[in-house]
Amino acid sequence: MGMIETIRSVVRFAPVERDRTARRLARVANVDDLRILARRRLPGGVFDYIDGAAEDELTAGRNEDGYRRLELRPRVLRDVSALDPSTTLFGRTLPVPLVLAPTGFTRIADPDGELAVARAAARAGLPYGLSTLSTRSIEEVAAVSDGDKWFQVYVWRDRGLVAEMLERAQAAGYSTIVITVDTAVLGRRERDLRRGFSLPPKIGLGTLIDGALHPGWTWDFVRSEPISFANVVGKSVGDGGDPVTLSDYINSQFDPSLSWADVNWFRERWPGNVVLKGIQTVDDALLAAEHGVDAVALSNHGGRQLDGAPPPIELVGPVAQAVGDAMAVLCDGGVRRGSDVVKAVALGATACMIGRPYLYGLGAAGERGVDWVLEFLADGVRQTMALTGCVSIGDLDRGLVRWRGPAAP
């Protein structure tokens, strides 16, 4: 064979992909790749708002490290041909033990914002938690998603406003409220402080330059309708029509006197499921059980509130053991692979939640970026189960994992 024939026999040109989003996603292999793509596409202030965390970002880093410290103990020759990663949460079937955590201001990553995320979640059959500080309203999201919708509650000083939001969420068919309890005041997010980040982003010289360097984002941003806190448009609390720093807004509007007694107030007003998000000790998980909530979400807000808080994965085992079957146990912070979900469930979690992974997807490639990350995580769950010899969620137990180094307490 001549040289030309030899070359011809090994070279295969892939057809040129015309769709830019598909081309971008074709080169993505994991969540970190999406993160890097998002960093390239989003203005620095927007990326840092999403990616950043409190103070030295120690907790944010440890959230991810916690999963890396867990080793899997694979069993082999177990016939995994009929593998089923589905589970049950609040009486509903989830195709994998995964929930999309609430994140505020989603439209700064992509003009479709919460609508894109809600649609992708519904397609994947996963619950989506809409933030109080969303940039699409309770009703707008309900109009595009017949999937399972949760509403995350920050407790305003104006309790009438909270009661009204609960009524709206119920009328719009949300199944679950998630009361976030780790935000008595806003954490000190130093990347945002350094940039003077406000919502909506202020246009100044720095942002103009940043915008010019990220023309795709800027074009989308200026073409779409202005961003506001969609759930409180027209209310006295300010709807983000004027730029405001998150700390000024939260510290003036949210009620720092919130206490356990208020949990009963919610129980009386909300007929659906109640989740307390931001539980960070066994003691508080037990108190939550006493107060009759349906689930705790072990969470430190992705390391965005108290730096130095423990990684949730380290709390899963002790909390699951302490509360038994009394409540579902969710956890979030640092989940970046399907194997992380498997590890958390093995330690006793009912499901994991993700925040940044879907925001990176949204910032990198819009709605299809969110689809991508949800498929990636579901595939990762299935693959890890197959490689560890587990055919159902019931097979994931404490024996599947081992802490490297000192065990979590």
What span, in angstroms and rounded, lies between the C-alpha atoms of 400 and 347? 8
The type of residue at 79 is D
The type of residue at 23 is R
Q: Is 291 a catalytic residue?
A: no
Q: Helix, strand, coil proportions of the chain in percent (round to 5)? A: 50, 15, 40
> Both tokens of residue 118?
């809600």
Q: Any contact of residue 253 with ligand FMN (CB under 6 A)?
A: no
Q: Is 70 helix (H, G, I), strand (E, B) or coil?
A: strand
What span, in angstroms and rounded, lies between the C-alpha atoms of 359 and 385? 26
The site for ligand FMN, by CB under 6 A, has a size of 24
Per-residue binding letters, 291-330, with ligand FMN (x by CB under 6 A): --------x-xx-x--------------------------
Q: Which of 301, 337, 343, 356 is catalytic?
A: 301
What span, in angstroms and rounded, lies between the C-alpha atoms of 40 and 206? 17
Q: Any contact of residue 180 with ligand FMN (CB under 6 A)?
A: yes
Q: Any contact of residue 149 with ligand FMN (CB under 6 A)?
A: no
> 202 vs 103, 237, 300, CA distance in Å?
20, 20, 28
Q: Any contact of residue 335 with ligand FMN (CB under 6 A)?
A: yes
CB 113, CB 199: distance < 8 Å:
no
Q: Any contact of residue 277 with ligand FMN (CB under 6 A)?
A: yes
- Give the residue, chosen from 66, 104, 348, 361, that forms a contact with ligand FMN under the rule CB under 6 A: 104
Beta carbon nearer to ligand FMN, 196 or 389: 196
Q: Any contact of residue 135 with ligand FMN (CB under 6 A)?
A: no
Beta carbon nearer to ligand FMN, 306 or 354: 354
Q: Any contact of residue 343 with ligand FMN (CB under 6 A)?
A: no
CB of 18 to ligand FMN, least distance (A): 32
CB of 90 to ligand FMN, least distance (A): 18
377: left (phi > 0), else alpha (psi -120 to 50), else beta?
alpha
What span, in angstroms and rounded, lies between the C-alpha atoms of 339 and 397? 14
CB of 22 to ligand FMN, least distance (A): 25
Among the listed residues 356, 133, 90, the one whose alpha carbon sits nearest the alpha carbon of residue 227: 133
Beta carbon nearer to ligand FMN, 24 or 154: 154
- Give the residue, chosen from 37, 66, 70, 103, that forms a contact with ligand FMN under the rule CB under 6 A: 103
CA atoms within 13 A on the CB side of 214: 25
Active site residues: 301
Question: By the criterion CB under 6 A, which residues form the site for ligand FMN?
Answer: 50, 63, 101-104, 131, 133, 152, 180, 277, 299, 301-302, 304, 332-335, 354-357, 359
